[in-house]
Homo-oligomer: A and B are copies of this chain.
Amino acid sequence: MKHQLMMSREELEAFLRREFPQIHLNGDIWTILEVAPLRATMRMAYHESQIRPGGTISGPAMMTLADLALYVAVLASIGPVGLAVTTNLSINFLRKPEPRALIGECRLLKLGKRLAVGDVTLRSEGADEIVAHATGTYSIPA
């Protein structure tokens, strides 16, 4: 199975900024660090809108990072051809993340005509330990 990159990192950044302006409401929290065929790496800044009292990053913030990394990996692989939607997301929270940026690495395990499935590994920036692990499915429009 050969796959090629249909959108560059810069094109994806511009696409997100245009289509999802609200994710930048609280500042530049989300950055695409890298894309490659079937892969994407995203960074979520450590920002007060994402944390719980005590400084812990909230579960929903981690789910958002996982969902977004999957979405970017799908777009990078199929191009901006309509509205892919998440049909399923499953996440395991493994450890308390550090009080700093969180990195989500997505790889697509399957890129079919109708469904894309991938997993996302979340780590605190600069750390080895896995903080959370998610698996998700995107439905691709015909």
Contact = CB atoms under 8 A, between A and B. Distances in A.
Interface of A: 1, 19-22, 25, 48-49, 51-53, 59-60, 63-64, 67, 85-95, 109-110, 114-115, 117, 119, 129-130, 133, 135, 137, 139
Contacts of A117: 92, 94, 133
A142 to B, nearest CB: 9
Copies of this chain, how many? Answer: 4
A35 B30 CA distance: 36
A135 B94 CA distance: 12
Contact of A109 (B19, B52, B94): B94
Given A92-B87, A119-B133, A130-B109, A64 B53 contact: no
B93 A90 contact: no
Residue in A1, A109, A139 whose Cβ sees the most chain B Cβ within 10 Å: A109
A59 B19 CA distance: 15
Contacts of A92: 87-88, 109-110, 117, 135, 137
